Chains A and B, each alone.
Chain A
Amino acid sequence: KAGVTQTPRYLIKTRGQQVTLSCSPISGHRSVSWYQQTPGQGLQFLFEYFSETQRNKGNFPGRFSGRQFSNSRSEMNVSTLELGDSALYLCASGKGAAGELFFGEGSRLTVL
């Protein structure tokens, strides 16, 4: 069974640009969560989508947005990039009543 796939794995952008990251969950998983991971702030929850609806949202500015498609694939977008947006962005698909999360390898974004 294929795991969670995130693309691209690495990308470099400059301040003011925007970026779109993609996540394909494990087949059959309807929940997709996004996290930002930085050395200073650790793992921070961005948002969670379930059946194309945003179900939970973390404390991030409106520059961070996401969506989920009918096939459960999800994208997140960051507009007007800032240096502080440099991070590893992790996507996780969820399954089961125990709330288990299965993570992708992440997309490492560097903003110059």
Chain B
Amino acid sequence: GEDVEQSLFLSVREGDSSVINCTYTDSSSTYLYWYKQEPGAGLQLLTYIFSNMDMKQDQRLTVLLNKKDKHLSLRIADTQTGDSAIYFCAEGMDSNYQLIWGAGTKLIIKP
């Protein structure tokens, strides 16, 4: 069946790069998304990548997609305390808002 998997926690030092990984199973997915949720808040769309791309960069964020292995990663350069949050990976189809979500990775920043 359809499933999106992420590790539950990642701990990094302030200033280092964070790499959050995700695997998905639905090869027909058109888009893959990264959302961020800060404590007590809703989810914020960080970025998304179209399935025929293998990389997308947006300021400190780099998304890498390995479609063959169904592996998606989010790299955050120069991680700051404000990056502390839960990061969700999700997959979806064209104009279909019923996304399939991972359980979220909690990013912990060590001083």
Contact = CB atoms under 8 A, between A and B. Distances in A.
Interface residues of B, number: 25
A99 B41 contact: no
A99 B43 contact: no
Contacts of B95: 96-97, 99
Interface of A is mostly: strand
B101 A99 contact: no
Contacts, number: 62
B42 A106 contact: yes
12 contacts: A42-B102, A90-B43, A97-B95, A98-B48, A98-B50, A99-B92, A99-B93, A99-B99, A100-B33, A105-B40, A105-B42, A106-B41
Interface of B: 30-31, 33, 35, 40-45, 48, 50, 88, 92-99, 101-104
